[in-house]
Amino acid sequence: MSVTLTALYYDGRVSRGVPVTVERSADRLIVIWGENVSLELPASAVRPMPRVGSTPRTLHLPEGHLECPDCPELRIWFGHGSRFEAISDWIERRWPAVLASALIVLAGIVLFTQYGLPWTAKVVAHRVPVELQDRLGRETMLLLDKRFLKATNLPVDRQAALRERFDRVKEGLAQASRYQLEFRQGGPLGANAFALPSGTIVMTDELVGLAADDDEVASVLAHEIGHNELRHHLRTALQNSGLFAVAALFTGDVASASSWTVALPTTLIHSAYSRDFEREADDYAVDRLHRVGLPPGAFARMLRKLDEAHPLDGRMAYLSSHPETLERIEAAGRRTAALARP
């Protein structure tokens, strides 16, 4: 019982298709026959394009190609065209397999962004030589000095006292010599402190003014040193790149990955990462104070003062780069109490 297929034959020389019949002869030769077309070739000379959905199948011949609807004979006579794509096609045709893929994708992305990516970024960041991080900070400092910060108004002896506290906080750290303290007037930045990847820590006069004693100032310095010791800048950069790569794989191309529908969820995730890093730095601050013999409770006290001076709008919590201050105060309090237990 020989099967006859109908197809359109295009010779690749003119844009005209000719209806033909395609049959397999007794000795496995493929015979193509139509108006002014008569071909006979071995099946191996026919190259099928892999199947995609229910689109018309095309079979490429040494000269020209055939176009026909899909049917089982095509696989029997000519194979899949690509082993690789045959597997994809197999999965695509079975709804259970498709649903399983969907679940794997969703679970995979959630696990990756929650655990896989942060863990990988942490491991890689700690392997990168510290010196390479220096470059990230240099331009930022210049920009800050140009735009926002003015020279400090703190008296010189006050600065000296604070520097002494600073040296105490960074005592014993392998990279202690990289950490430099800079004093500035905050201006629009208010009571603030930040760490640059190069190891420079900037503290504003307003923050010093808020603190009741030098221990509280030291606690903030410990938090900032924590950002550097834990390589947060590099980890942020790595995690953001990782998110972008996943977005590109998900949407299918790089252009869509930068569209704003993708920007929305990625911004939420960026903020979540940032809050995690702040919590890590908070824990580090409490531990560090305890380690160098300063009162760890100073950090919770400082946070409370910051909160009273500048209460922040709670509505935008999900987009914030810092956790809720009350949450931070409580966490710091708990950790301090745990350290106090013998």
Partner 1 sequence: MQEPGNSTQWTPEPTLITEPAPATWPPSPTEASAEAVVPPPPSATAFAPSETRHRLEFTGTAGEYFRIWIVNVALSIATLGIYSAWATVRKRRYFYASTKLAGSPFEYLANPVAILKGRLIAAVALGILVGASYISQILYFCLAIGLVFAVPWAIVRTLKFRARYSSWRGLNLRFDGTRMGAAKVFLLWPMLAPFTLGLLYPWIVAKQQEYAMSNLHYGQSRFSFTFQPGRYYRPILLAGLGFLICYIAIIVGVAIFAIAGDEFHPERSFVFWAAMGGTYLYATVATTYVRARITNLLWNHTSIEPHRFESALKARAMIWLVLTNALAVIASVGLLIPWAAVRTMRYRASCFTFVAEGDLDQFVAGATVPESAVGSEFGELMDFEMEFGF
CB of residue 298 to partner 1, shortest distance in Å = 23
What is Dmax (Cα atoms) for the chain? Answer: 104
Tokens of 190: 């208010």
In the set 1, 13, 293, 342, which binds partner 1 (CB under 8 A)?
13
Residues for the chain: how many in total?
Answer: 342
DSSP 3-state of 293: coil
Q: Which is nearer to partner 1, 48 or 296 (CB)?
A: 48
Tell me the backbone φ, ψ of residue 46, rounded to 5 degrees: -100, 125
Can you name the residues that pair with 13 across neighbouring β-strands?
none
**Residues 128, 234: Cα–Cα separation, whole Å:** 9
Binding string to partner 1 for residues 115 to 144, with x set by CB under 8 A, is what?
-----------------x--x---------
CB of residue 318 to partner 1, shortest distance in Å = 10
Site for partner 1 in 236-275 (CB under 8 A): 245-246, 249-255, 258, 260-261, 263-265, 271
CB of residue 177 to partner 1, shortest distance in Å = 21
**Residues 220, 301: Cα–Cα separation, whole Å:** 11
CB of residue 336 to partner 1, shortest distance in Å = 26
Binding string to partner 1 for residues 78 to 117, with x set by CB under 8 A, is what?
------xx--x--xxx-x--x--xx-xxx-xx--------
Site for partner 1 in 179-218 (CB under 8 A): 188-190, 192
Q: Which is nearer to partner 1, 64 or 333 (CB)?
A: 64
End-to-end CA distance of the chain: 90
CB of residue 75 to partner 1, shortest distance in Å = 17
In the set 64, 81, 118, 297, which binds partner 1 (CB under 8 A)?
64
DSSP state of 189: G
Which string of DSSP letters, residue by residue, matches 261-287? Answer: HHHHHHHHHHHHHHHHHHHHHHHHHHH
In the set 3, 62, 115, 142, which binds partner 1 (CB under 8 A)?
62
CB of residue 314 to partner 1, shortest distance in Å = 8
Q: Which is nearer to partner 1, 91 or 212 (CB)?
A: 91
**Residues 323, 203: Cα–Cα separation, whole Å:** 20
Tell me the backbone φ, ψ of residue 199, rounded to 5 degrees: 110, -5
DSSP state of 115: I
| Segment interacting with partner 1, rule: CB under 8 A, options 55-63, 151-159, 162-170, 210-218 | 55-63
In the set 3, 43, 44, 52, which binds partner 1 (CB under 8 A)?
52
Residues ≥6 apart with Cβ < 8 Å to 150? 184, 185, 187
Q: Which is nearer to partner 1, 67 or 330 (CB)?
A: 67
CB of residue 102 to partner 1, shortest distance in Å = 5
Site for partner 1 in 298-317 (CB under 8 A): 310, 312-313, 315-316
| Segment interacting with partner 1, rule: CB under 8 A, options 16-24, 156-164, 215-223, 282-290 | 16-24
CB of residue 295 to partner 1, shortest distance in Å = 28
Tokens of 72: 């089982």
**Residues 337, 299: Cα–Cα separation, whole Å:** 12
Site for partner 1 in 144-173 (CB under 8 A): none
In the set 3, 44, 63, 330, which binds partner 1 (CB under 8 A)?
63
**Residues 94, 98: Cα–Cα separation, whole Å:** 6
| Segment interacting with partner 1, rule: CB under 8 A, options 36-44, 176-184, 279-287, 334-342 | 36-44
The residue with tokens 């700690």 is: 126
Cβ–Cβ < 8 Å for 43, 33: no
Run of H or E residues at 81: none
**Angle of CA points 340, 122, 302, to nearest 5°:** 35
